[in-house]
Each structure stands twice: as C-alpha cells, then as structure tokens.
Amino acid sequence: MVERLAKELDASGEASVQNLEVPPDDRAWGEVFRLVGSNAMRGAVQEHFSVKMAFQNCCKVGLFRPDATEEYERFVSPQAQLLNQRPDLLNCRSDRTRAAPPGSPGGAVLLFRVDRERVFELELVGRE
C-alpha cells in the first residue's frame, strides 16, 4: 500500500495522497496497524520515500510531501479525525462487524457528534 501511495504521490504532483482501499484480510490489517503503530517503522518508511506519513481511523493512511505542512496538519487534526468517522463505525470493512474489544464496558462505543467547526457532544453508548 505504501509503495503504491508513494508512486501515486510522485505521479500526481499533489501535496498528498490517501489510501481509501480496505485491507483484504486480517493479516493485511495487522500489517497496516503495525506500520502506523510503530515510530521506527513509520520513520523508516518516511525516510525511504522522503514523505511524511499519517493515519486516520481504520485504513486511511496518507502520504505527504515534506513541504505540505498545511495539508498534513489538516489531515491529523482532531476535526479531520472525527469527521472521518461514522457513529456506527467499528470497522470500515463492510463484510463483517468486529466485536468490541475484551474488557470494554458492555461493548460500549464512544460516539462523537461534530459539525464542520468543532466537536459538540461526546457520548459513551452501551451496545447490547
């Protein structure tokens, strides 16, 4: 995925590109999460491709040109992170729904309600 995005970024001339493809299986999901969850791995990718890399929920990874500071800051902002979610989102794969993680209170989900400018309501909702 990262190599594909780096090629898209080079070819497009744009300030950034984002992945919108859902990983096909749990193994691929694990690879994405290990990549974005590790400072060392993320740093190696950024150095190798001469980009900045950022991650929103699920599978939305973005690559940014080093001088694309404004686009990067907008992508990693709390507003962008929240607007990228739906209240019913537990997993962006449409073929199944994952159970809540073990130990979560009754399968509770934190819902964010937002408008275009700010978060205006946070609610912990129990799932039955």
Q: pLDDT category, 92, cuts 50, 70, 90?
A: low
Residue 72, number of CB atoms within 10 A of its CB: 21
Cα separation, 102 vs 63, in Å, equals 32
Query: Which regions of the chain does DSSP assign to beta strands (E)?
Result: 16-18, 52-55, 61-64, 109-114, 119-125
Q: Which helix (H) or strand (E) holds 122?
A: strand 119-125
Give the mean model confidence (pLDDT) for residues 8-34.
89
Q: What pLDDT is stored for residue 88 in this prediction?
A: 52
The percentage of residues in the chain with a pLDDT greater than 70, rounded to a whole number, is: 63
Q: pLDDT category, 8, cuts 50, 70, 90?
A: very high
Cα separation, 44 vs 123, in Å, equals 37
Q: Evaluate if residue 125 carries a pLDDT over 80.
A: no
Out of 8-17, 28-37, 55-64, 86-95, pick the least confident.
86-95
Domain ranges of the chain: 2-91
Q: What pLDDT is stored for residue 72 in this prediction?
A: 94
Reading the block at residue 59, the tokens are 């599978």
Burial level of 93, CB count in 10 A (0-12/13-18/19+)?
Answer: middle
Q: Evaluate if residue 34 carries a pLDDT over 70.
A: yes
Q: Evaluate if residue 7 carries a pLDDT over 50.
A: yes
Out of 18-27, 64-73, 84-93, pick the least confident.
84-93
